[in-house]
Structure 1
Amino acid sequence: MSSKYNSLKLVKVKNVGDFVYKVSLNRPSKFNALNMVIWKEIGDCFQLIDEDPECRVVILQGEGKHFCSGLDLSEVTFLNGEEADDSARRGRSILRTIKFMQKQFTYIDECSKPVILAMHGYCLGAALDIATACDVRVATKDAVLSVKEVDIGMAADVGTLNRLPKIVGNHSWIKDISLSARHFSAGEALQFGLLSRVYDTREEMINEVLKMAKLIALKSPVGVQGTKNALNYARDHTVENSLNYVATWNMSQLFTDDIMKASMASLSKQPTPPFSKL
């Protein structure tokens, strides 16, 4: 694994083998609350992974008792601005900060490698901003989730309110949880489509997620990354535009050797062949 990951202090990256990386929020004494250091490291981490040929699938989790308790309010200083600044300049400064914070989670969404999120314990506020940027979301049955921002007097502004309507079709439920900031269970999140699976224990969840990640990593990286790219584009565009996009994408990608390798293995009922790094 590249030594570039060594610069990360509050985000831990581990190569667990078979082209799967495990990324862990590593501030357990603070329930993985997000200060600006870990916030930036999340973005830095996924930019590195995007270009890392040794990684094909990412598992994202939190160290300790909880996945993430949200924004670390004790370290929020960017709202203060400079005392000498007028309101216009303070507003511009806050705008730049919000856009920076948004982009760090967008790097997860834009990462060419599928990201599987495994949540446990508290998953509050900014934790859901992270969750909505991931490709597959699972949790333990004791997970507690909340779109928490209304409780601190603001509208969520780094992803949840923007991505959640694209993930969950029930707008009544989205407004229910967002306007009330109430806690809701993993079972409720599963019922409304925010999660794909719920597990009894964290150990079971991690074992099953690792199996899922290794299964995906066995596939052609050309096919997997192209599929994520096409699905993300389709989410944000019309069907017609999406069809044109994937046709243009495959105009070059169909020349890959992976198609012949995978097809021959499938026809002969042989194990999936190894694919070249991408």
Structure 2
Amino acid sequence: MGDDLVIYYNDSIDSDNLAAAMALFKATYWKPTVRVLWILEPRQVCFGLSMTMDQITRCKELIKQHFPSFENPFKTLLNGDIKQQDIDDIKDLTKDNRKILEMAVKPKYGSINDATLHARLSALDLATCLSEWSNNNPVEVLVDYETLEHIENPVNLHMHHHEELVNRTENELKEYYDILKKVLHFGRRTDNLRGWYNKCIWRLEHDRKLSDISVERLVLDKVLNRIQTAGSVRFFGGSSLRILQQFLDRGVASKIKCHLQVVSLIHTPH
């Protein structure tokens, strides 16, 4: 039998996911017979969407005023539980208030190519964190791009955590916010943000600190082979957990001990 295998499977590097990754790294880095496979699950995106705190506060007030049957305005906004038709039926909204309230409607996803760009940058950011912890030991990061065809994002993209900003330089942050502030046409803003993503990705791909880290596309058959030849397998994960269903379907689940990181998005009744 081979070395023991630990599979870390999660989405973006927001605070709880990064803490989980750090805890796992510290528990395994000193064990020479344990190999950790770091897998990132991408998510759908729509470039350029964000809300200020003032907009969030005002939107919650409008939800409470016009949709009193929703018990928790924040959860309603976070989940995108309001439909466009519900807002269209309100006749006495000012133009500004209508625009704010429409942020509580889930927007359409951007393109798969945009989600792929976002995933590539997120994976390189995760790799950067791992490189700082690993003291130049080899690290393997995989991206499960295929899952974008099968999952839904439970969060209103107006409200989603902007993990693309976590590992940026001062100049990259300035350029990002300049685009949001100065480029008002949505299509042009999206194009500019694609260019911004590509520049951030280029910088990290040419960072010598990542020379010992592999960031590649997940190939399921290769992961299944690693599971089958490992001495033992532990799975630490969150996000959609779609990959666990694939492990079940392919007959390797009985070998895996699972430890799940979960969060509940509460949908309020209407």
TM range (shorter): under 0.3
- Which is higher, the Rg of structure 1 or of structure 2? 2
Q: TM-score, normalised by structure 2?
A: 0.27
